[in-house]
Amino acid sequence: MVREPQERFLSGFMFMCTPNNTVNSTCEGCIDDIQCALRTVIEQARRRCHFQKNMDSIRIFKYSPHDKTRTLTDLTTVLKEGGVEKSDIHFIISHISQHSTRHATYRNKRTDFFRQQLKKPHMQKMLVQVYHAYNYIFNFPEKLLYWDYVLFDYPLPDLYEAHSLSSSNKLLLNNEK
C-alpha cells in the first residue's frame, strides 16, 4: 500500500515530530522542525534502502484517507491473492474501515501549517532532488522521493513537469538492476 510521498512524509512527521507526540519520540532532535526531520530522513535513507532489490515481490496499490473505499477494495484483493483466510480479511477490513490511526493527520489543524512549509521550493527540492542510497546500489543518481512519485504514478511537485512513468521507462528502470 503506497501513499502520496509528501503526504506520507508529513504523516510520519506529525506522528513522531510534534511536541507531546503520543509515542514520546524525540524525532532525532527535530521536534517541530520539518526541515531538520527531512534532512534526518535523507541521511537515514542513504544508509538503508532495499526497495529496488525487492521490487519483483511487491504488489503496489495506493492509499488515501480521502478514498477509503478504493483502498479497502485494493487491500481486499491483495489479501485474497495472498491466500489470507476470509475471516481474517473480514476482520482486517472491518477494523480499518471503522477506525483511524491515532496519528491521523488529515484532520489535524497543525498539518496544514507543515504542509505549507513542505510546499516551499527549497523543501520540494529536498523531497525530490537529494541523492541517496540507490545511487550506490545502481550507479546512477537517485532522488529521495523522486522514484516514489514516478513508480507509484503520483504527479511530481510543481518544480517538475508533472508526468507519469511509462511502461517502457519502468522496464528501463528494472533493467538498471
pLDDT of residue 51: 65
Extents of the domains making up the chain: 2-65+100-175
To the nearest 10 degrees (0 to 180), the angle between helices 109-118 and 34-47 is 70
State residue 119's pLDDT score.
79
- Whole-number pLDDT of residue 73: 92
6 touches 118 (CB < 8 A): yes
> How many angstroms separate the CA atoms of 122 and 129, rounded?
10
User: Nearest 5°: phi and psi at 3?
Assistant: -130, 155
Query: What gap in Å lies between CA 101 and CA 121, rounded to an integer?
Result: 30
Cβ-contact 60, 2 below 8 angstroms: yes
Chain length of the chain: 177
Q: pLDDT at position 132, please?
A: 40
Which pLDDT value is given to residue 107?
Answer: 59
Can you give the pLDDT at residue 143? Answer: 60
DSSP H helices, 22-133, are: 34-47, 68-81, 86-98, 109-118, 121-129
Per-residue pLDDT tens over the stretch 19-67: 887 777 788 888 999 889 888 877 776 655 666 677 777 777 887 777 8
Q: Are 72 and 64 in contact (CB under 8 A)?
A: no
Give every residue of the chain whose pLDDT is below 50, as ranges.
Answer: 130-142, 160-177
Instruction: Return the amino acid letter for 107.
Output: R
d(CA 11, CA 103): 7
Considering just the CA atoms, what is the radius of gyration of the chain in Å?
17
